[in-house]
Chain A
Amino acid sequence: MKRIRFGVLISYLILFIFAIITVFPFVYMILGGLMSFQETTSIPPTLIPHHFEWNNYAKVFARAPFARYFFNTILTASVTTLVSLFNSLLGAFAMVNLRFKGKGLVQMILLSLLMVPGEAIIFTNYNTIAKMGLLNTYIGLVLPFLTSIFYMYYLQSYFGSISTTIYKAAMIDGASDWDYIWKILVPMSKSGLFTVGLLSFISGWNSFLWPLLVTNEDTMRLLNNGLSSFASDAGSETQLQLAAATLTVLPVLVLYFIFRKQIIKGVVRNDLKG
């Protein structure tokens, strides 16, 4: 009996240590963003600031156009999410419910493209966008991401789990494909679509390499690029860097805590990558 208890104790200890390692950076980020400069560089390190320096946030907004970054990020992440969701919805519907020649081939090509790492094509895509004269534009920021093979594949598996007789019944009931999509498929797959939308939005929010390539004007930057250049500019002012990092992370964390069940379920359901 005693040995088992000891094992459980060790397990809990390991679990708590790793839980702290996981959470600590977030807590420390928020706390550090409220410290004074002296506090951030003191030895021994400060954990809880003596006085909450809310002023740090004002400084961040004053030094870099973070409001603009927010706007840009929300805009591009929303557009990417909505359009790619729409396109994936139509495509997945066709792949699941319609019978046509060449379906197998399309599926095969899409599946093999799923294996291609984004980093392998991002630079040539940059070239395409540059040639189209779309550098430093919103269109350039979103264009390559208006379809997502991955989300389409995810929706395919989601729609595939709906009995085929539902589609047949709708056909006999007189519904057109368009009716079927909007009156039956979408309401029936609400939670799946919502999860895909959330994950797409979050990955849009966190995108970094692509906007880094296609924008160099400060007004067109997204949050993460703004943050990273702010971190270089702010140099040693760690407290401002941490405040800016908090600004970037907090909205997503809030979203995450509200919808954690859907997000985790969605990720597990299809081993979804971001």
Chain B
Amino acid sequence: MDNNKFVEVKNLRKVYDNGHEAIKNVSFSVKKGDLVCLLGPSGCGKTTILNMLAGLLNPTAGEILFDGKSMVKVAPKDRHIGYVFQNYALYPHMTVLQNVMFPLTVGKNKRSKAEAKKVAQKYMQLTQIMDLADQKPGNLSGGQQQRVAIARALVQEPKILLMDEPLSNLDARLRLKIREEIRSLVKSVGITTLFVTHDQEEALSIGDKIILFNDGIIQQDDLGQNFYLEPNNYFVANFIGNPVIDNFKVIKTDQELRSSQFTIPLALLDASRFKRNLPNGEYILSVRPENITPQKDGFLHVKVDDVELIGRERILKFTYDQVQARSLINLEESIQPGDEVTLQLKFNRIFIFTPGGERVY
């Protein structure tokens, strides 16, 4: 038994009947007790993976191991999992108590009614829905339904909890509250949790680690901050971060990186950060908006198109090479649309990608 590989997925592939290859080749593992976020834009295959983990979909190829045992041929009900659906999937004709008890009244986990009720009540207490016991799901708010769904998922005392966009049907304020609750709840129960979301902020705040998917493959499998500081590739750099990263087309020569209006001598860059020897040619220089800011002696001269207020900061928008770019500035700075400013880069915070998206610096 390897607690570092409590959940292990090897070379997983899924081709749907219509020929769509949703998952190309995916391998990852999850440590026991961790809360891992599967993150990605819609249609990236993250829910497909969750469904395969649950046994609701059969993989076309590959292996799924829970606690070292292969699960590919095991029925969903025998996988010792709990699942929280995006729409909660509560049984509308049953009361909250009956919903939570249901897993204990059918199949292998069947227990006496009294015992089932006791266990159900334990988890209803944990999720604070005791006072809703006799209500029907239709009368509950989104947040309450969410708790019922979690209680029902936990009542079989599964080893692994799978959650598919559990917060997407809630309003913004409630989402913040419930996501904290979910994290503290699964941590207190100590259950290994896979949490699917398309919301990077949610993933960053809740996950012990994040696995970012796109196009049916893993883009990066890492701790949250590393997506920000050390993105694996162009997709990751652009997916993570709000406001989104600025990208500039540059030509590399022997001496410098040259754009239409600025040049950066290679000497200014940190030689140790180059991943490999770069041939001369076209590249993309990317920099997060907070690392390209107005400064008197800046090297990039632009006209401000617009200034947008976002809470404590402001986004200064400008057009460069016909592409809009952003700079994050302090609330106090008195820059107005139409002003001309010069911007300066933090050279140790830039990334360089090949046109194909590979990160090289």
Contact = CB atoms under 8 A, between A and B. Distances in A.
B330 to A, nearest CB: 46
Interface string B87-101: 101011110000000
Contact of B107 (A166, A176, A190): A176
Nearest to A189: B93
B82 interface: yes
Interface residues of B, number: 27
Contact of A166 (B54, B82, B89, B103): B89
Interface string A180-192: 0001100110100
Contacts of B77: 171-175
B93 A173 contact: no
Nearest to B108: A174
Interface in B30-65: 51, 54-56
A174 B91 contact: no
A168 interface: yes
Interface in A219-264: none
B56 A176 contact: no
A110 interface: no
Given A165-B86, A165-B89, A172 B106 contact: no
A163 interface: yes
A241 B107 CA distance: 58
Contacts of A176: 106-107
A179 interface: yes
Interface centre among A172, A175, A188 (most CB of B within 10 A): A172
Nearest to B81: A172
B56 A168 contact: yes
A184 B86 CA distance: 19
Interface in A134-154: none
A9 interface: no
B86 A171 contact: no
Contacts, number: 67
A165 B153 CA distance: 13
Contact of B152 (A173, A175, A179, A184): A173
B283 interface: no
A163 B92 CA distance: 11
A169 interface: yes
Interface size class of A (residues with CB under 8 A): 10 to 19
B107 to A, nearest CB: 3
Contacts of B92: 188
B109 A174 contact: yes
Given A169-B83, A169-B85, A174 B93 contact: no
Main secondary structure, interface of A, reads helix
A168 B86 CA distance: 12
B102 interface: yes
A49 to B, nearest CB: 50
A163 B82 CA distance: 18
A179 B85 contact: no
B193 interface: no
B54 A179 contact: no
Nearest to A179: B106
B164 to A, nearest CB: 9
Contact of A171 (B76, B93, B156): B76
A168 B75 CA distance: 12
B103 A174 contact: yes
Nearest to B17: A99
B83 A183 contact: no
Contacts of A188: 91-93
Interface in B98-124: 102-103, 106-109
Contacts of A172: 54, 56, 76-77, 81-83, 153
A184 B56 contact: no
A123 B55 CA distance: 49
B89 A174 contact: no
A174 B85 contact: no
Contacts of A179: 106-107
B106 A169 contact: no
Interface of A: 163, 165-166, 168-176, 179, 183-184, 187-188, 190
25 contacts: A163-B87, A165-B86, A166-B89, A168-B56, A168-B76, A169-B85, A169-B89, A171-B55, A171-B56, A171-B76, A171-B77, A172-B56, A172-B82, A173-B107, A173-B156, A174-B156, A175-B106, A175-B107, A176-B106, A179-B106, A179-B107, A183-B102, A184-B91, A187-B93, A188-B91
Given A165-B89, A179-B106, 6 more contacts: A169-B85, A170-B91, A172-B54, A173-B156, A176-B107, A190-B93
Interface of B: 51, 54-56, 75-77, 81-83, 85-87, 89, 91-94, 102-103, 106-109, 152-153, 156
